[in-house]
Structure 1
């Protein structure tokens, strides 16, 4: 059984199937390729069992390889189904290799874990969704979510009030939409005076307090 395999794509490009290779062996392979002028290198995490099990796939190796060797990474996937491939994309894989057959019923050495056309279509669709879903590190409402603020609760004035009036349980309520102060300020505002005239239905903001 091969330790790992290298496929030359074009001059200066290769795909390296990592198989059972150690970090030292991969480091030697990557250095050798780069010393020879190869700049486009893709390392594919590969479990050399046929079929492979999810438990032996160790997908977390993929982002580690990217960081360690500074190149594109992917998965040579011998598992059944598409779960491992989707997980790989979610962890930074940019290439997925799968065995393919027009019909498993036709038999063949790898037919048991090869994908049929409809399954390959599903693999393409779901890995693309996984890649699209990664996005970036985002907190707070995004532009697409802002309409959903209408479903949050916040603090509103429920009676007409004049400057100097005090917030009470009768004129301050926690209702929708979420355009006023957060409900957590309810107890703090009770007993506070407003500094201007306010109409019933206005969302409470700090600028009207004190």
Structure 2
């Protein structure tokens, strides 16, 4: 049975940090196992599934933070129907899922919405080879999760390259977004509060 939060013992409802840490550990373990047998299709598929679980979770975690910003009143602007469709319900947990969006569109819309709500100038990089590799990896992943022939579940060397780049691209882009978010928040703090925050976080921000 899937685990459930023990709120009475202090568990959070979502625990986004733990979610991403757990899925990141899955990716590392999947690659470690693949090193033992690089030709194993099972292990290659395990890497792909681990990477895209992380990617899907990353997008949702950003939406969780956007919803929190709106619920707490830190953003008082209005959202367009498309932005509302992208974000879905403002409920913390248990709300029905919003409209299904292809992963690349979901990432683009979520990134753009986060920049708007948080007042950032951060722009998603989609004009380079990394994004093209991401699209190729997504196509391969879609065939893997909805296979019709044996060829749909075969992951070749080029696929593995694209999947690896896809994971790194998503992580890099969202890290860039969160870094700007942190910088923006720090700029609004007093010098004393800023130093206390950086000391606790062990951050390299200055």
TM-score, with normalisation over the residues of structure 1? Answer: 0.23
Q: Pick the structure with more helix per residue.
A: 2
**Based on CA coordinates, which of the two structures has the bigger radius of gyration?**
1
TM-score, with normalisation over the residues of structure 2? Answer: 0.23
